[in-house]
Structure 1
Amino acid sequence: MQFSIGDTTIHAPAWRVIVALLAVAAVAFTGYDYVQQSRAIDDATAVEATVVEAEVRYDDSGRGGSYGLEVQFDYRYRGTAYTGDRVFPGAYVPTYDEREAARAALDGLEPGDTTRVYVPPDAPGEAFLNDQRPPGTLDFFWLGLAVLVIVALDAIGPQNPDATADLRPEGAVPPVHERSVFGRFHDPLGRWTTRSIAVCTVTLLGSFLVGFGLIVLRSGGIFGPAAAFSVDPTDPIGIAGVVVAASYVGLVVSLSLYGAWSFVEYRRLRERLADPTPPSPFRNPSRLVTLVRGDDDDPNEYVRRVRLTGSAVLVAAILTVSAVQVVS
């Protein structure tokens, strides 16, 4: 399907419409749940409750396994007895990668303890233990929003821009930009960063698989009951973790440096473009997304450089944001 809004052409094939609808659904659901959580926290009344059950349970059905919370508590609100099982308000139920993090959400509660729970006046049977939002509430909101923006940008304008861009012979046009990004080390930088990306990627994947295998063996296997254990930085699992972290940082740095190096190469190629010069993709997000996603198997040198530059910067940004989320 294709239609126009003013002078702008919108390309909306079935796959793009489906992805956009899924992204909208994710944004709408998580946004609605966020609002409901906020309302429940603001309007809730605190009452005393008796803890009947409070434990952390391991679920090995997913990839790598996760820890969930099982709670039950009895309370009274305006003369009526209720039994609750919510740790946080809203429909989103978080899971945890570590038992300690899951246990911290229960704040040390044990069966028989008396604690405070929070009762929404308009839904007295949906009391919750923590008057705060669960971790990761908006993860799917931001993911859906990012996908929606990318799909929208990709749908706008020509679907194969700059495919016929002609490059004049090298040296035919005097350079406008002097080479930068480490000057005379610019060419070696391109080779070093390319090799470093390959080495860091292989090391990251290899050390992750080794560490994961050791964790599975030490914890009792994938299908067996999870056994708690401690990890020392000097034992094999700890060493694998250090290697994963170091190679991850090295990959981010290498991608960032490669992106900077590649952008300089892009500018040199752009100076050689024959008239009429197409708009710069790095000033036109829709054009950049379309070029990076491009499905042509044999792009010209200019399009290939744009694609490599944009991909390196995008992957480095995603890895950086992911690391910040994990650390925080």
Structure 2
Amino acid sequence: MLSRTADSLYWLGRYMERAGNIARGLQVALRLTSVTSAVARRDNAWRGLLTASGCAPGFAATGEPLTREAVVRYLAAEPANPSSILSCIEAARRNARTVRTALTTDMWEAVNETWSEGRRSTDDTFAPDNLPAFLDWVKSRTILFNGAYADTMLRDEAWSFVRLGTMCERADNTARVLDVHHHALMGAEEGGTIAFVQWQAILRSVSALRAYHWVFHARLEPKRIAELLILRPELPRSVVACYARIEETLEGIATAHGGRRGECHRLAGEMHARLRFGRIDDIMEGGLHNFLTATIDRNLELGRQIQDFYLQA
């Protein structure tokens, strides 16, 4: 497979996953601010969302005030923001078009129809009364895309690079969501209403609230939330689950290339082993923020190594 083809497939997976992650983050921030009376806490919710999405520096450069309307517009529709929902959909479609023949019909239709419908968005789409429906639509379209490539692609290199992009983006998002809210998880086991709402927000950001109750059969506790999102392989969006799939996918690609491996394979294996054999008590005692910051840095380095080894012509 040509490097430029692999690059387009990898970023197709990343951009579609990112659009869904931003939509979930906006839904959670809207819910959090609706039940929070203090202005400072509402501002922190929007600031935290910008940080988790990696868009804080770009938003600050606009000079816009930190308001609901400004943040929603920047994260949902701002053309100058490469990580806004509509920008991600545009980039995903551009990459999909480049490798049209490598995609199944269902995949192409999922991306192309999403792009076509997204182009019809207007300012009214992002009005308070219409925004929830738009965010639900984005989530449903990204789930449709994931289902399309999971159910219709041959398990060949094309599938591997789409999956690799999806999992790299997902691992990064889960780590960032946890890191933004680490202060809410490092306090006492018992918390008030605000703490409980924050704990719910963390789980909702990765669609894991029901999964938490299914796994633990208990009320929300900070340590268990961190354990679920970092170390539990049953959760598809946990960091360890993502790295299990990243390592597996990279090994499959290496096997297809005669066993040729690079630094990206070592990093993925090292991270998976660290997570697979890690203990939540050790992570919490060593500092959750330190652990997550190191994980985010490793995610970035892994992405660079994948780019250097496979995706550059």
User: TM-score, normalising length from structure 2?
Assistant: 0.25
Tell which has more relative contact order, 1 or 2 (C-alpha 8 A, sep 6+): 2
Q: Higher helix fraction: Structure 1 or Structure 2?
A: 2
Query: Rg: which structure is higher?
Result: 1
User: TM-score, normalising length from structure 1?
Assistant: 0.24
Q: Higher strand fraction: Structure 1 or Structure 2?
A: 1
